[in-house]
Amino acid sequence: MSQPVDSAVSAVRTFIEQHRAVFLDDLAEWLRIPSVSAQPDHAPDVRRSADWLAAKLKETGFPTTEVWPTPGAPAVYAEWPSADPGAPTVLVYGHHDVQPAAREDGWDTDPFEPVVRGNRLYARGAADDKGQVFFHTLGVRAHLAATGRTTPAVHLKLLIEGEEESGSPHFRDLVEQHADRLTADAVIVSDTGMWSEDTPTVCTGMRGLAECEIRLFGPDQDIHSGSFGGAVPNPATAAARLVAALHDEQARVAVPGFYDGVVDLTDRERELFAALPFDEDRWLRTARSHGTLGEAGYSTLERVWARPTAEVNGIGGGYQGPGSKTIVPSSATVKLSFRLVAGQDPEHVANAVRAWVPGHLPDGIRHEISFSPATRPCLTPLDHPALQSVVRAMGRAFGKPVLFTREGGSGPAADLQDVLGAPVLFLGISVPSDGWHAPNEKVELDLLLKGVETSAHLWGDLAEHWRHAP
């Protein structure tokens, strides 16, 4: 049984070894394009990055490559159908734009002049996300070479957006506009990481996000605290009481209805999370916090990955200048964000918050609440066949067991899940030390090539274990 596995693994490795130098040169060429979507003067570079990628995907063998315009930066779409009509369709998501970077931010070298030091490639976008998009190009070629196929074992589609680092303002519209081209049985997001160099993991979900601003209004202007204070409601006090009421003694969110629909962790997931080599002291140092605090009954990892939360992002109002100003302020503001987990509906949460606020305000305090557009949560169950394929492919590449994580943050992947109705899986080889959004971003070359290998094994495995019923 193990013989064919070994020969497939070594055929893939041989191919990658033969093509590794050109692959890294090509990636370096792409990294030299400063595709910073947040900075308007880099707009031509973001377009150049899209064109560069589309041309490279064509060269890789994708028969269809297109640059899709948006009101902002363009996305790249590519498609490579399988000759096998019953094959599943997989859509790979990533992004070709990068975070801003300048030498004076603390980079040791020019962020847009890639350099290899030791076994690391340093450049803005090396890990987030150009490296992790690009490993699929060599991956699909290794897949073909190792299996003797001329088309991939799955119908392969790529959607690489150009505005992820700017909050993906046009992504949902883009996906809706092209929904019939993008249909897929599964979405593979290649814009995440794994636990550590030694512990390969697959991420199974991301939390969603709902954010609001609550403005509280008292007197029509700041008024004298001696003449009026103590006899009229103070909006700053009201803000403090509102915020204090947000959690109960168990650090659970006290908004009625907030937990409606929440998909609980399974015992198996809790066991697997607990199997990760988690060092809480180290985590605290990374967090730069001086203690842990969260919902009773859950571990730190469970709290950040699998439980919904409410956070006070800011609270303000009244006089905050030097010395004193004895007033009852006229207004106060609270900014809240809610991380949501699978089963929670952002609209339902927003309505629950809207219904909860007035009951915690005294008469004479008027309020306004505004929610920004929400991001939905996504989660793929551990036993999903496509997830199992990712785990097997990664296991073959790394030669060790693959564990599971989730992502506490939120991202546009959920739009793909919503619009396309396909499960979202996360495949990433980046590690926490890669320095996303920070100076000296890098990717570990060994891991990058493991990403190529994983991609090379994945398509065949998916086709074998997850065929369409005729």
Which residues of the chain form contacts with Zn ion (CB under 5 A)? 128-129, 191
Least distance in angstroms from the C-beta of 407 to Zn ion: 11
Measured CA distances, 105 to 100, 111, 124, 127, 441 (Å) = 10, 10, 12, 18, 12
CB of 73 to Zn ion, least distance (A): 14
Minimum gap (Å) between residue 191 Cβ and Zn ion: 4
129 upstream amide cis, omega within 30 of 0: yes
Q: Measured between alpha carbons, how far is 269 from 257 in angstroms, rounded to an integer?
A: 25
Q: Please give the Cα distance from 274 to 96 (Å, whole number).
A: 35
Q: CA 116, CA 118: separation in Å to the nearest integer?
A: 6
Q: Smallest distance, Å, CB 54 to Zn ion?
A: 19
Rg value, the chain, Cα: 25
Comparison of 16 and 158: residue with beta carbon closer to Zn ion: 158
**Nearest CB to Zn ion, comparing residues 79 and 191:** 191
SS3 content of the chain, % helix, strand, coil (to 5): 40, 20, 40
Which positions ≥6 away from 51 have C-beta within 8 Å? 67
Q: Supply the minimum distance, in Å, between the C-beta of residue 395 and Zn ion.
A: 25
CB of 94: closest distance to Zn ion in angstroms?
Answer: 8
In whole angstroms, the minimum distance from the beta carbon of 165 to Zn ion comes to 7
- Between helices 130-147 and 2-31, what is the axis angle to 10°? 140
Pick the closer one to Zn ion by CB: 128 or 407.
128
Nearer to Zn ion, 191 or 415 (CB): 191
State which residue, 168 or 330, has the beta carbon closest to Zn ion.
168
Distance CA 144, CA 153 (A): 9
Nearer to Zn ion (CB atom), residue 218 or residue 411: 411
Identify the sign of the CA torsion 31, 35, 37, 42. Answer: positive
CB of 79 or CB of 164, closer to Zn ion: 164
